[in-house]
Structure 1
Amino acid sequence: MLTHCPNCRQALSFTSEQVARLEQALAQLTPGKQLALKCPHCRGTINLDAAGTVPSAAGAAPSPPSAVGRVQPPPPPNLDWLAAGLFDTEEKVEDIPMALVLHQHDGQRQQIGEALEAVGYQVFMVETVADAIERMRFVNFACVVFDIELEGPLEQSVFHRHMCRLSMDRRRYIYYILIGKTLHTLYNLQALAYSANLTVNTADLRHFDVILRKAIPMYEELFGPVLEELSVYGKQ
């Protein structure tokens, strides 16, 4: 199984469900064809053969003598997947949505991570506000989970202020979850007041996966059509 992106060399992790879907897609490849994936880190294309490995560059044309000693650019991308229409079929391997968790390192953080992975997210854990904001500069996270106990009163929180000030072309595609002892689980009015999508009381984290399975479909049912219309009219 692929463990690192061949382009940016960063580690890749998959849930058991994603591994099963990947293996199914590889089993359906016809001889000579390759499966194209996108790296969640660098967004580069990763081509896999039927064995689940990255094909070697055997057979590539040698560099001309005048190019000896120079830094050679990478070859153009393989577009076999484009002609095959792989990404238009039900057997496609979807881009893995990524979730950022800003929470102190404890058992609760592990519960949060396991619940997010159970519903299909690739999880990145951070413990400081600075690290969280820095990661968000380069990665478009589909979900952000923030423990409001990290910075005291929410109205004074640097990270919460950062989330509230994000441009809407980014913010509307982030499912923002607040976790804290003073919050009420699945209380939509409280989430709306805090410019979040979901609030969860710390005492209910043992049921976090069930809460996500209930809340996320409700959110998609309510806002999915709106986001689609915005996309059609170029208001992303």
Structure 2
Amino acid sequence: TAEVVKATLRELGFKFHLAETSEMAIERLRYTNYDCIVVHENFAGSLLRSNSVLNYLAALPMAQRRYSFVCLVGPSFKTLDAMQAFAQSVHLTLNPADLPNLGPILKKGEAEFEQ
């Protein structure tokens, strides 16, 4: 999963950082404004409700959050399901089965985000 995401982000011209732990991810998010954030629902072994990265992002002030496009990856989601994305306070949901199409999916999601 991570290899596909890295390759796709590289193809789309993004520079990226990988975080090994939730603490590392949150630390980077505190000091860096990212254009695109991709996080798995079970990142660092967490459950969706206790995912500290998602909880951190959801708690950010709108003035800060509006500049980052957030993609949530997980088997419990349908790809491009706007209601699921809204319910999770992200811009895009992605089922891992659709990772081979990540490039076009991210382009579509970001185009809608920028409108």
2:88 is the alignment partner of 1:194: yes
Q: How is 1:22-37 mapped onto 2 (pairs within 5 angstroms)?
A: none
Quote the offset at 1:144 in angstroms: 1.0
Aligned partner of 1:160 in structure 2 is: 54
What displacement does 1:120 show? 2.1
2:49 and 2:12 map into 1 onto residues whose CA distance is 30
Taking the aligned partners of 1:203 and 1:183, their CA distance within structure 2 comes to 10
TM-score normalized by the length of structure 1: 0.46
1:213 to 85, 107, 110: 107
Q: TM (normalized to structure 2)?
A: 0.91
Residue 10 (structure 2) pairs with residue 117 (structure 1): yes
C-alpha distance after superposition, 1:111-155 (max 9, x if no partner): 101111222211111121000011112111111111112244312
- Looking at structure 2, the residues matched to 204 and 193 of structure 1 have their Cα atoms a distance apart, in angstroms, of 20
1:183 aligns with 2:77: yes
Instruction: Structure 1: state its 5+ residue gaps.
Output: 1-107, 222-236
Query: C-alpha root-mean-square deviation of aligned residues, in Å?
Result: 1.2
Match of 2:64 in 1: 170
| Local SS of the residue matching 2:77 | coil
Name the residue aligned to 2:24. Answer: 131
- Equivalent AA in structure 2 for residue 115 of structure 1: T
Distance (Å, rounded) in 1 between the aligned partners of 2:17 and 2:24: 11
Contact 2:36–2:70 (Cα < 8 Å) also in 1: yes
- 2:34 — aligned with what? 141
Q: How many residues align?
A: 114
Aligned-pair CA distance for 1:159: 1.5
Give the C-alpha shift of residue 214 in structure 1. 1.7
Deviation at 1:191, TM superposition (A): 0.2
**Greater helix percent: which structure?**
2
Q: Which has the larger radius of gyration?
A: 1
- The letter for the 2-side match of 1:162 is Y
- Distance in 2 of aligned mates of 1:154 and 1:213: 25
Cα shift readout 1:79-112 (whole Å, capped 9, x = no counterpart): xxxxxxxxxxxxxxxxxxxxxxxxxxxxx10110
- In the TM superposition, structure 1's runs of 4+ consecutive aligned residues that sit over 3 Å from their partners are none
Aligned-residue identity in percent:
32
